[in-house]
Chains A and B, each alone.
Chain A
């Protein structure tokens, strides 16, 4: 089963993500979740980005709203627009979740 998981906040509740098993996993950073892809704490990036095998996406408009650009984003995450987000969830990820 493929799964797309939305992360909309900066809470470090990565335990949920750790427990999720999917044949294909996409993590969508939206709203305040985009901070996972751009901030570091004590030199360390978000543990969310350590989920092995996952594809990471950051919503561009939420990134720009918070004063960031694609240059600020961790290399493991891809910046996408809302249209690409729709294509991904309707085409690539069978089940969807929201953290």
Chain B
């Protein structure tokens, strides 16, 4: 088994990339791999725990707590979150806030790194 580090700055709304990233993470976890997920830019909204689920509206964040319980490491760009008014208190439990150095370090030491654009 290996370690997959995924980074993305895709928007929660208006892009399917976050949906893809969450499904890829879940599948890799289910296969026994370690998965690190770095969220920066508008992607940090994925961890906002106060989101509402609408019918016919993509909501990839709803399954995030389960994935964190399975071992998914979710790490948010601290500055990106502050800039968007999302404090740690509003984040899904288990989310870590830090700087981009974390992403570079985990990407370098993992087996695979995938940076998904916006």
Contacts and interface: CB of A to CB of B under 8 A. Distances in A.
A87 interface: yes
Nearest to B111: A90
A85 B20 CA distance: 12
B79 to A, nearest CB: 23
B17 A31 contact: yes
Interface residues of A, number: 17
Nearest to B8: A98
Contacts of A22: none
Contacts of B33: 86, 90
Contacts of B113: 96
Contacts of B16: 8, 31-32
Interface of B: 2, 4, 16-17, 20, 23-24, 27-28, 30-31, 33, 111-117
Contacts of A82: 23-24, 27
Contacts, number: 45
Given A8-B20, A31-B17, A90-B111, 7 more contacts: A8-B17, A86-B27, A87-B31, A89-B112, A90-B112, A93-B112, A98-B115
Nearest to A87: B31
Contact of A90 (B28, B115, B116, B117): B28
Interface of A: 6, 8, 30-32, 61, 82-83, 85-87, 89-90, 93-94, 96, 98
Contacts of A8: 16-17, 20, 117
A82 B96 CA distance: 27
B17 to A, nearest CB: 7
Nearest to A82: B27
Contacts of A30: 20
Contacts of A87: 31
3 closest A-B pairs by beta carbon, nearest first, are A96-B114, A82-B27, A86-B28
